[in-house]
Structure formats: C-alpha cells, structure tokens
C-alpha cells in the first residue's frame, strides 16, 4: 500500500465555502469507499488559528503561513475580494514554496494570487468566470481558458464551485483509477462530472434556447471583438448573411437589435473591469471599444444609473 497523499489547503479570508467542500469531501469519500487512507488533508491560514469564508462560517486550521507542512499539494483557496487579502507575506511564502519544488495549485479565484506572484506566466489557467475580463487585462502573459479546470500544467487551477469537485475526481482517477472516481461521484450523487475541457458558463444555446448557428457565431464574434467592435454589417458579412437577416435573428431570438446587444456586452465588460481592476476610466473605455471617455461615461450612466467614476467610488 502506498503512502497517503497529503493535500494542504491554504484558506484565504473570504474563501468560497462551496469550493472548499467540493475539494475536501471527495477525498474523504475516496477513503471511505476504498476502506483505507488514500488521502490526508490539513488546513492553513495566515494567522494559523482560523479562516472565515464568504458566508461567515469560521474554520479552525492546523498551520500558520510561516509553518506550512510538507505536502504533496498545496492548494490556495480564495473567494471574493481576494486582492484585499494578498499580503506580501502570502506572496513571498508562495514564491518560496515554488522555488523549493512544492506543488502549488489554485482553486476558485486563487489563480489571481498565483498570477500576481508570477507563478502562472506562460501557462494555461482557469479562474471563476466572473474574473475573466479583469484577469485578461491584468495578466496578459497567462493563457486564460474558460475550462472548468486545468490539470495538465505545472500549476493546477480550478475555476471554483463544483468545478473543484471535477478536479478532485480527476486527480482521484489519475492516481487510483476510474472505478474509484466513479464510486466517489456516485456517493456524492454527482451525475454531471465534467472533463477539464468543459467550459464554465452555460452555452448560449442552453441559456437562451438558441439553436441558430448564425446567431451563435455572431454573438461569439461580438465577444471576441469588444476592444475593436465590428459593425453589424461586418459581422453579417463574415457570417455570410445580410444585415437585415442579422437584425431579424436578434429580434426573433433575443428581442433586441445587434447594436443594442453588442453595447450591453461592452458595458458589462466595462463594469467588470471597473469593479475588479485598478484600470483608469480611460483605460477601461479603450478596452471596451469606446473612443472617448466622455462618450463612455454617458452611455455607462444611462445603462447603470451611475458614472464609471461613481461606480469605482462605491467600492472605496
């Protein structure tokens, strides 16, 4: 019998309780199903006493940041407001652990922490979809993907929530075989196990009931060209339909026009960047395809009831 694997979970304040449970429970169930200790786990926090998750629950931990144990994997787990908790001590400890050969991985929003520490440069990485826009602006050297998790890089990353369970089941299968991973999923009554290549958000087809390939392609092109917006005529020409046909598709399936839908996409991207990054209003405007900050501010206020500056001030 091989030695148990030890996973240490470094819990960052306001961490996701859902991701935490989805990470630990598959390990517990694997031990239960197999009838032996395949996995051991422990918890760490910066102060070594407790960690508080985003729903207010308090978890007792075993280790402090300056006394992390030797382990097979060190999973950094964070949630909302992770940037507020990125202390120099945290970043320094992670860099030191990596230099000494530790397997340092990230769950939920913690890919942002590893990227800040320079530990994801040149790699594919996954992070919760809500941070995608800001992450791509902040870390262009990281190849961000929309996968639920990335397990074939030096640093394993999972996007959070139930994607963490998908990752754990993947690791269990790698180490102990598909039969055990399936048995663990069955115990969890988890019938929708996803591979790493599955995308996080519900597809346009599923979310809106869209079955028209032209419309799906048009929306994808809009999402890809937010920084330099294409006109409706350009998108229609790429797809091989007329502008009028494109307008009819948006009206029929989404009850809106291509122009309005595209503007909503750009403004939603802008809101994410204002909330999640330190980029200036001018930089956000440019990143979302607005030629002037004045025009951007007027359109933003009309959509959200506040100016971009006021939106940023609400976070202070």
Q: Given the DSSP bridges, would you call strands 5-11 and 39-45 parallel, antiparallel or unpaired?
A: parallel
Q: How confident is the model at residue 271 (pLDDT cuts 50, 70, 90)?
A: confident
Angle between helices 17-34 and 178-187 (to 10 degrees): 120
Within a 13 Å sphere around the CA of 54, how many CA atoms are in the beta-carbon half? 16
Which residue blocks in 50-203 are alpha helix, DSSP H? 88-99, 110-116, 132-138, 163-176, 178-187
* Average confidence (pLDDT) over 45-65: 96
Q: Which two three-digit tokens encode residue 10? A: 């470094």
Could you tell me which residue, 297 or 208, shows the higher pLDDT? 297
> How many CB atoms sit inside 10 A of residue 164's CB?
27
What confidence tens digit (pLDDT) does each residue in 187-235 have?
A: 998 877 777 776 676 555 545 556 688 988 999 899 899 999 999 999 9
- In this structure, are residues 232 and 239 in contact, taking their beta carbons and an 8 Å threshold? no
- Domains of the chain, start order: 5-187 (3.40.50.880), 204-313 (1.10.10.60)
What confidence tens digit (pLDDT) does each residue in 24-43 have?
A: 999 999 999 999 999 999 99
* DSSP SS3 for 40: strand
- In this structure, are residues 166 and 149 in contact, taking their beta carbons and an 8 Å threshold? yes
Q: Which two three-digit tokens encode residue 218? A: 């048009």
């Amino acid at each position: 019998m091989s030695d148990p694997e030890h996973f240490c979970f470094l819990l960052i304040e306001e961490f996701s309780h859902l991701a935490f449970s989805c990470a630990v429970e598959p390990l517990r169930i694997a031990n239960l199903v197999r009838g032996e200790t395949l996995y051991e786990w422990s918890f760490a926090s910066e102060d070594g006493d407790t960690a508080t998750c985003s729903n207010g629950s308090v978890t007792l931990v075993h280790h402090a940041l300056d006394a992390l144990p030797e382990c097979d994997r060190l999973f950094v787990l964070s949630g909302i407001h992770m940037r507020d908790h990125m202390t120099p001590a945290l970043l320094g400890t992670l860099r030191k652990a990596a230099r000494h050969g530790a397997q340092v991985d990230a769950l939920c929003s913690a890919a942002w922490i590893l990227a800040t520490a320079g530990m994801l440069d040149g790699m594919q990485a996954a992070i919760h979809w809500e941070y995608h826009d800001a992450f791509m602006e902040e870390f262009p050297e990281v190849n961000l993907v929309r996968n639920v998790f990335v397990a074939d890089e030096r640093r394993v990353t999972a996007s959070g929530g139930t994607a963490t369970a998908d990752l754990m089941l993947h690791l269990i299968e790698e180490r102990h075989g598909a039969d055990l991973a399936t048995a663990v999923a069955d115990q969890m009554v988890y019938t929708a196990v996803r591979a790493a290549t599955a995308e996080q958000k519900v597809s346009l087809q599923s979310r809106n009931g869209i079955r028209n390939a032209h419309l799906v392609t048009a929306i994808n092109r809009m999402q890809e060209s937010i920084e330099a917006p294409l006109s409706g005529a350009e998108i229609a020409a790429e797809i091989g339909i007329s502008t009028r046909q494109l307008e009819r598709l948006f009206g029929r399936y989404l009850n809106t026009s291509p122009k309005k839908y595209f503007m909503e996409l750009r403004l939603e991207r802008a809101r994410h960047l204002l909330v999640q990054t330190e980029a200036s209003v001018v930089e956000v405007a440019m990143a979302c395809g607005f030629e002037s900050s004045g025009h951007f501010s007027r359109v933003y206020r009309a959509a959200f009831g506040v100016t971009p500056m006021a939106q940023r001030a609400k976070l202070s």
